[in-house]
Amino acid sequence: MSTFPGVGDAFPDVAMETPDGSTVKTSDFAGKKLVVFFYPKDNTPGCTTEAKDFTALKGDFDKAGVALLGVSKDSAKKHQNFIAKHDLKTPLATDAEIGGLSDVLGIWTEKQMYGKTYMGMVRTTYLIGADGKIAQVWNKVKVKGHAEEVFAAAKAL
Protein backbone atom coordinates (compact mmCIF):
# COMPACT_ATOMS: atom_id res chain seq x y z
CA MET A 1 0.00 0.00 0.00
CA SER A 2 1.30 3.44 -0.89
CA THR A 3 1.80 6.06 1.75
CA PHE A 4 0.34 9.50 1.34
CA PRO A 5 1.92 12.77 2.47
CA GLY A 6 1.34 13.53 6.14
CA VAL A 7 2.52 15.86 8.89
CA GLY A 8 6.13 16.91 8.31
CA ASP A 9 6.09 16.03 4.60
CA ALA A 10 6.27 18.59 1.81
CA PHE A 11 2.80 19.39 0.46
CA PRO A 12 2.53 18.23 -3.18
CA ASP A 13 2.80 21.02 -5.75
CA VAL A 14 0.06 20.21 -8.27
CA ALA A 15 -1.47 22.84 -10.57
CA MET A 16 -5.24 23.26 -10.41
CA GLU A 17 -7.66 25.43 -12.39
CA THR A 18 -9.23 28.46 -10.72
CA PRO A 19 -12.73 29.80 -11.50
CA ASP A 20 -11.24 32.53 -13.74
CA GLY A 21 -9.43 29.94 -15.88
CA SER A 22 -5.93 30.52 -14.53
CA THR A 23 -4.01 28.00 -12.44
CA VAL A 24 -2.91 27.86 -8.83
CA LYS A 25 -0.50 25.55 -7.01
CA THR A 26 0.88 25.49 -3.51
CA SER A 27 4.27 26.86 -4.57
CA ASP A 28 2.41 30.10 -5.41
CA PHE A 29 2.12 30.54 -1.62
CA ALA A 30 5.82 29.92 -0.84
CA GLY A 31 6.90 31.65 2.37
CA LYS A 32 3.30 31.98 3.58
CA LYS A 33 1.15 29.74 5.75
CA LEU A 34 -1.66 28.11 3.76
CA VAL A 35 -4.88 26.28 4.60
CA VAL A 36 -6.19 23.98 1.87
CA PHE A 37 -9.63 22.57 2.56
CA PHE A 38 -11.00 19.81 0.36
CA TYR A 39 -14.76 19.37 0.18
CA PRO A 40 -17.02 17.01 -1.79
CA LYS A 41 -19.32 19.25 -3.85
CA ASP A 42 -20.37 22.86 -4.45
CA ASN A 43 -23.85 23.91 -3.30
CA THR A 44 -24.46 20.99 -0.96
CA PRO A 45 -25.40 21.84 2.65
CA GLY A 46 -22.19 20.86 4.47
CA CYS A 47 -19.88 22.19 1.76
CA THR A 48 -21.77 25.49 1.55
CA THR A 49 -21.59 25.91 5.34
CA GLU A 50 -17.86 25.11 5.36
CA ALA A 51 -17.09 27.59 2.54
CA LYS A 52 -19.20 30.29 4.21
CA ASP A 53 -17.49 29.67 7.58
CA PHE A 54 -14.04 30.08 5.99
CA THR A 55 -15.28 33.19 4.14
CA ALA A 56 -16.53 34.68 7.44
CA LEU A 57 -13.04 34.25 8.93
CA LYS A 58 -11.08 35.26 5.80
CA GLY A 59 -10.24 38.71 7.23
CA ASP A 60 -8.81 37.07 10.36
CA PHE A 61 -6.79 34.59 8.28
CA ASP A 62 -5.50 37.48 6.13
CA LYS A 63 -4.44 39.49 9.20
CA ALA A 64 -2.63 36.40 10.53
CA GLY A 65 -0.78 36.00 7.20
CA VAL A 66 -2.53 32.75 6.31
CA ALA A 67 -3.80 32.09 2.78
CA LEU A 68 -6.94 30.00 2.16
CA LEU A 69 -7.81 27.69 -0.73
CA GLY A 70 -10.92 25.54 -1.09
CA VAL A 71 -10.70 22.55 -3.45
CA SER A 72 -13.23 20.15 -4.98
CA LYS A 73 -13.61 18.21 -8.22
CA ASP A 74 -16.30 20.64 -9.43
CA SER A 75 -15.64 22.54 -12.67
CA ALA A 76 -14.44 26.15 -12.77
CA LYS A 77 -17.93 27.14 -14.02
CA LYS A 78 -19.61 25.43 -11.03
CA HIS A 79 -17.16 27.22 -8.72
CA GLN A 80 -18.10 30.58 -10.32
CA ASN A 81 -21.78 29.89 -9.63
CA PHE A 82 -21.03 28.70 -6.06
CA ILE A 83 -19.00 31.86 -5.33
CA ALA A 84 -21.68 34.17 -6.79
CA LYS A 85 -24.62 32.42 -5.12
CA HIS A 86 -23.07 32.52 -1.61
CA ASP A 87 -20.85 35.64 -1.93
CA LEU A 88 -17.78 33.56 -1.09
CA LYS A 89 -14.48 35.39 -0.53
CA THR A 90 -12.38 32.25 -0.15
CA PRO A 91 -10.47 31.33 -3.33
CA LEU A 92 -11.50 28.00 -4.87
CA ALA A 93 -9.73 25.61 -7.23
CA THR A 94 -10.75 22.65 -9.35
CA ASP A 95 -8.97 19.34 -8.84
CA ALA A 96 -10.70 17.52 -11.70
CA GLU A 97 -7.62 15.93 -13.26
CA ILE A 98 -7.14 12.21 -12.79
CA GLY A 99 -3.99 11.87 -10.69
CA GLY A 100 -4.58 15.37 -9.34
CA LEU A 101 -3.87 16.70 -5.87
CA SER A 102 -6.67 14.82 -4.07
CA ASP A 103 -5.48 11.56 -5.69
CA VAL A 104 -1.88 12.25 -4.62
CA LEU A 105 -3.10 12.95 -1.07
CA GLY A 106 -5.28 9.82 -1.00
CA ILE A 107 -8.49 11.71 -0.21
CA TRP A 108 -10.29 11.00 -3.51
CA THR A 109 -11.39 7.53 -2.62
CA GLU A 110 -14.07 4.89 -2.76
CA LYS A 111 -17.08 5.76 -0.60
CA GLN A 112 -20.41 4.08 0.10
CA MET A 113 -23.87 5.51 0.59
CA TYR A 114 -27.18 3.66 0.57
CA GLY A 115 -25.41 0.48 -0.52
CA LYS A 116 -23.87 2.13 -3.60
CA THR A 117 -20.12 2.46 -4.08
CA TYR A 118 -18.76 5.57 -5.77
CA MET A 119 -15.64 7.74 -5.88
CA GLY A 120 -15.78 10.81 -3.68
CA MET A 121 -13.81 13.43 -1.80
CA VAL A 122 -13.10 12.85 1.88
CA ARG A 123 -13.59 16.24 3.56
CA THR A 124 -10.02 16.99 4.67
CA THR A 125 -8.13 20.15 5.62
CA TYR A 126 -4.37 20.70 5.50
CA LEU A 127 -2.45 23.41 7.34
CA ILE A 128 0.82 24.06 5.51
CA GLY A 129 3.63 26.00 7.11
CA ALA A 130 5.57 28.78 5.42
CA ASP A 131 8.24 26.12 4.74
CA GLY A 132 5.81 24.21 2.48
CA LYS A 133 5.54 21.29 4.89
CA ILE A 134 2.29 19.88 6.26
CA ALA A 135 1.88 21.12 9.84
CA GLN A 136 -1.53 19.62 10.62
CA VAL A 137 -4.21 17.47 8.94
CA TRP A 138 -7.90 17.24 9.77
CA ASN A 139 -9.41 14.05 8.30
CA LYS A 140 -13.12 13.34 7.83
CA VAL A 141 -13.91 16.87 8.97
CA LYS A 142 -17.11 17.71 10.80
CA VAL A 143 -18.08 21.18 9.54
CA LYS A 144 -19.44 22.78 12.72
CA GLY A 145 -16.68 24.84 14.35
CA HIS A 146 -14.05 23.57 11.89
CA ALA A 147 -13.02 26.93 10.37
CA GLU A 148 -12.51 28.38 13.86
CA GLU A 149 -10.41 25.37 14.94
CA VAL A 150 -8.25 25.66 11.79
CA PHE A 151 -7.81 29.40 12.36
CA ALA A 152 -6.64 28.84 15.94
CA ALA A 153 -4.10 26.23 14.76
CA ALA A 154 -2.89 28.43 11.87
CA LYS A 155 -2.46 31.43 14.17
CA ALA A 156 -0.47 29.33 16.63
CA LEU A 157 1.85 27.95 13.91
- Does the annotation mark 21 as catalytic? no
Residue from 47, 71, 83, 93 carrying the catalytic annotation: 47
Q: What angle do CA 95, 39, 14 make, to 5 degrees?
A: 30
User: For residue 31, what are the contacts with CB-CB under 8 A and spacing of at least 6?
Assistant: 130
Q: How far apart are CA 10 and CA 32, in angstroms?
A: 14
Q: How far apart are CA 9 and CA 71, in angstroms?
A: 20
* Residue 73 · residue 103 · CB < 8 Å: no
Neighbours of 13 (CB within 10 A): 13
Report CA-CA distances (Å) from 5 to 16, 36, 53, 88, 98. Answer: 18, 14, 26, 29, 18
Q: Which residues are catalytic?
A: 47
